[in-house]
């Protein structure tokens, strides 16, 4: 069997970061170029051929629609190219879940697309970047990787883009999956899938947005007033994601203001500020015109809502159907 041919799209982040000292706390993300990174990777001697392309070299806090569009274009080209087997994206971990989920929603799942990052800069003691990258290569080159949507590799876990979230601010085990945990366990020598492919041969679910609509996230808290909502509506929000209390709750006046917003055709999604758990539909959602985020946390709920609105899907029942689909 020939070595897998992998396109590596580099965007920066800590995996390309440097501190200038193995023990320094602060560092700069996005310092090492992809050519240098791949030269170092070549010393690991894994059975894969790489082509590196530098898309950006930045802190992922600054990633947004322009880079997302660029990534989508490059990956679409790679999916159409019979000489390319799979794509790896190196990415900062802070917004990796948003980029991964957006690509998951807007690309076919016929070839593996794998995001990978690191929690420690490349020159730190115990740097995790090269190992995570080796694990990502294992996942991207595996014949059973297609049909699982976009994947995210961190530590020795492979997570699906829909489930992955950054759950800790520091440390190499910062990512978790909900409701599913890891879909595979990886190490530089081997890979084990924990479940069969669930999206085999699937076409892209949605068109990539030609424009990203204004969809703010409203963080709920005790003592919050309706003014928090009316400001967002006056500023032109097309949708609002509530990072609600508990299972998607808010103070009465905030809930009423959100129902008013829904009556003005602002799509309102109830998610939660709690780390994990389902936000399910409740009886008042029909009357209020609300959508329940189900397993999606606020950041990913916002991405899905932007994609839906950009695709012309704004009816709460249709939006709910998209949120309920795994």
Q: Which residues bind ligand ASP (CB under 6 A)?
A: 13-14, 29, 59-60, 92-94, 117, 119
Residue tagged active-site, from 11, 14, 95, 272: 14
Residue whose CB is less far from ligand ASP, 119 or 250: 119
**Minimum CB distance to ligand ASP, residue 271 (Å):** 22
**Smallest gap, in angstroms, from Cβ of residue 113 to ligand ASP?**
19
CA distances in angstroms from 213 to 69, 180, 209, 239, 299, listed in the order given: 15, 29, 9, 8, 14
Main-chain dihedrals φ then ψ at residue 264, nearest 5 degrees: -95, 25
Contacts of 128 (CB under 8 A, 6+ apart): 118, 119, 120, 155, 172
Nearest approach, Cβ of residue 305 and ligand ASP (Å): 23
DSSP string of 312-323, one letter each residue: T---HHHHHHHH
Residues 88, 10 contacting (CB under 8 angstroms): no
Question: From the CB of residue 39, how many other CB atoms can be counted at a distance below 10 Å?
Answer: 11
CA 309 to chain CA centroid, nearest Å: 18
Taken as a whole, the chain contains a residue count of 326
Distance of CA 186 to the CA centre of its chain: 19
CA distance 102 to 307: 8
Q: How far is CA 290 from CA 53, 129, 229, 239, in A?
A: 42, 41, 14, 11
* C-alpha span between 297 and 244 (Å, rounded): 10
Minimum distance, C-beta of residue 68 to ligand ASP, in the bound complex (Å): 15
* Minimum CB distance to ligand ASP smaller for 155 or for 248: 155
Position with the least CB separation from ligand ASP: 92
Nearest distance from residue 121's CB to ligand ASP, in Å? 9
Helix, strand, coil content of the chain in percent (nearest 5)? 30, 25, 45
Residue 111 makes CB contacts below 8 A (sequence gap 6+) with: 78, 79, 84, 85, 86, 87, 146
For residues 62 and 324, which CB has a smaller minimum distance to ligand ASP in the complex? 62
* 13 vs 112, beta carbon nearer ligand ASP: 13
Q: How far is the CB of 152 from ligand ASP (least distance, A)?
A: 12
Is 169 annotated as catalytic? no
Contact between 278 and 247 under an 8 Å Cβ cutoff? The reply is yes
Closest CB to ligand ASP among residues 13, 177:
13
Catalytic residues: 14
């Amino acid at each position: 069997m020939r070595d897998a041919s992998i396109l590596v799209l580099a965007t920066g982040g800590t995996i390309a970061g440097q501190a200038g000292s193995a023990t320094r706390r602060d560092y700069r993300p996005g310092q090492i170029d992809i050519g240098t990174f791949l030269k170092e990777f070549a010393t690991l001697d894994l059975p894969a051929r790489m082509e590196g392309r530098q898309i950006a070299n930045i802190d992922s806090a600054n990633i947004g629609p322009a880079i997302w569009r660029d990534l989508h274009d490059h990956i679409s080209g790679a999916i159409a190219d019979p000489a390319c087997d799979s794509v790896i994206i190196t990415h900062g971990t802070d917004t990796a879940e948003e980029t991964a989920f957006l690509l998951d929603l807007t690309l076919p799942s016929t070839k593996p697309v794998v995001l990978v990052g690191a929690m420690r800069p490349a020159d730190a003691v115990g740097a995790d970047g090269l190992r995570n990258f080796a694990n990502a290569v294992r996942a991207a080159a595996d014949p059973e990787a297609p049909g699982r949507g976009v994947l995210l590799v961190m530590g020795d876990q492979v997570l699906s883009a829909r489930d992955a979230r950054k759950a800790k601010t520091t440390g190499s085990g910062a990512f978790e999956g909900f409701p599913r945990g890891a879909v595979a366990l990886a190490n530089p020598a081997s890979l084990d899938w924990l479940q069969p492919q669930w999206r085999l041969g699937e076409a892209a679910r949605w068109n990539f947005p030609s424009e990203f609509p204004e969809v703010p996230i409203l963080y709920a808290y005790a003592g919050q007033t309706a003014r928090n909502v009316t400001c967002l509506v006056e500023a032109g929000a097309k949708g609002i994601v509530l990072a609600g209390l508990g299972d998607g709750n808010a103070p009465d006046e905030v809930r009423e203001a959100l129902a008013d917003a829904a009556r003005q055709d602002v799509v309102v999604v109830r998610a939660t500020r709690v780390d994990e758990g389902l936000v399910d539909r409740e009886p008042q959602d029909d009357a209020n015109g609300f959508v329940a985020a189900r397993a999606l946390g606020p950041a990913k709920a916002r991405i899905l809502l932007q994609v839906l609105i950009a695709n012309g899907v704004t009816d709460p029942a249709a939006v709910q159907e998209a949120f309920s689909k795994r």
